[in-house]
């Protein structure tokens, strides 16, 4: 656990997995779709409160789902 504050920074490592598909619609057009899942780990935060004696704790679990769709035009 680490304290939160201005200028507080760390580097977290994680992993990503995904899949994609592209289908030709014509000679010049294609439609594509992609899915990505990224897990960047969990970070615990402690916030010292000057008013209350009880410290405040929180956790951030960075799991991200990304879906992309697109239309390609070939010259």
CA atoms of 36 and 18, how far apart (whole Å):
4
pLDDT tens for each residue of 2-61: 544 545 577 778 999 999 999 999 999 999 999 999 998 887 777 665 565 666 777 778
B/e letters for 39-75, b = 16+ CB within 10 Å, e = fewer, are: eeeeeeeeeeeeeeeeeeeeeeeeeeeeeeeeeeeee
Q: Residue 67 pLDDT > 70, yes or no? A: yes
The pLDDT assigned to 59 comes to 77
pTM score: 0.63
Largest CA distance in the chain: 69
């Amino acid at each position: 656990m680490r304290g939160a504050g201005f200028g507080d920074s760390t580097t977290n490592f994680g992993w990503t997995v995904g899949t994609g598909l592209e289908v030709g619609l014509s000679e010049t057009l294609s439609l594509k779709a992609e899915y990505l899942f990224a897990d960047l780990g969990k970070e615990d935060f402690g916030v010292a409160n000057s008013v209350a004696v009880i410290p405040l704790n929180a956790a951030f679990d960075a799991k991200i789902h990304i879906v992309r769709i697109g239309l390609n035009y070939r010259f």
